[in-house]
Structure 1
Amino acid sequence: MPDRRSATATTAGILRPEEFARHVQLTRREPAPDLARWVENHWRLRWSLPPGRTFPSQVLPHPTCNLTVERGSPRAGVGAERVLVTGVTTERFDVATTGEGWVWGVRFRPGGLAALLGSSVRPLTDRTVAASALLPARTVGVLGRLHAGLGDEQAADLATEGLRHAAAGRVTQGDAAYDEVIALVEALLADRSLVRVQQVVEQLGVPRRRLERLFSHHLGVTPKWVLARYRMHDVVSDLDDGYDGSLADLAVRYGWYDQAHFGRDFAALVGTTPGAYRAQRADSAFTGGAQAGGAG
Structure 2
Amino acid sequence: MPDRKNATTTQAGVLRPDQLAQYVDLVRLPCAPSLEPWVENYWRLQWNLPSGTSYRSSTLPHPACTLSVEHGWTREGVTEPVVVTGVLTHRFDVVLAESGWVFGVKFRPGGYASFTGTVARTLRDVPVAPPTPFRSETVAALAELGGHLEVDHCRTVVDAALAPYTRDVEPEYETVLDVIGTMLGDRTLIRVGQVEDRCGIGTRRLQRLFERYVGATPKWVLGRYRIHDAVRDLDDGYTGSLAELAARYGWFDQAHFTREFTELVGVSPGTYQL
**TM-score if structure 1 supplies the norm length?**
0.89
- Which of 195, 199, 204 is 1:204 aligned to? 199
Q: Find the counterpart in structure 2 of residue 283 from structure 1.
A: none
Deviation at 1:9, TM superposition (A): 1.5
Question: CA offsets per residue over residues 19-76 of structure 1, 9 Å max, x none?
Answer: 0111111101111011111111110001111111110000001111000000111221
State the one-letter code of the partner of 1:244.
Answer: T
- Which of 229, 234, 237 is 1:242 aligned to? 237
CA distance in 2, matches of 1:232, 1:145: 37
CA distance in 2, matches of 1:218, 1:122: 8
CA contact (8 A) 2:124 2:215 kept: yes
Supply the RMSD in Å over aligned alpha carbons: 1.2
CA distance in 2, matches of 1:15, 1:42: 19
Deviation at 1:233, TM superposition (A): 0.3
State the one-letter code of the partner of 1:64.
Answer: A
Question: CA offsets per residue over residues 263-282 of structure 1, 9 Å max, x none?
Answer: 11111111111111010xxx
Q: Which moved more, 1:69-78 or 1:186-195?
A: 69-78
Matched ranges for 1:38-77 at <5 A = 38-77=38-77
State the one-letter code of the partner of 1:65.
Answer: C
Count matched residues.
Answer: 269
Does 2:15 correspond to 1:15? yes
CA contact (8 A) 1:68 1:104 kept: yes
CA distance in 1, matches of 2:76, 2:269: 30
Q: Which runs of 5+ in 2 are unaligned?
A: none
CA contact (8 A) 1:188 1:227 kept: yes
State the one-letter code of the partner of 1:8.
Answer: T
Does 2:178 correspond to 1:183? yes
| Partner SS state of residue 109, structure 2 | coil
| Partner SS state of residue 237, structure 1 | helix
CA distance in 1, matches of 2:57, 2:212: 29
Does 2:263 correspond to 1:271? no
Deviation at 1:164, TM superposition (A): 1.6
Q: Find the counterpart in structure 1 of residue 109 from structure 2.
A: 110
| Partner SS state of residue 235, structure 1 | helix
Q: Which runs of 5+ in 1 are unaligned?
A: 280-296
Deviation at 1:231, TM superposition (A): 0.4
Q: Which runs of 4+ in 1 moved over 2 A?
A: 170-173
Identity of aligned residues (%): 48
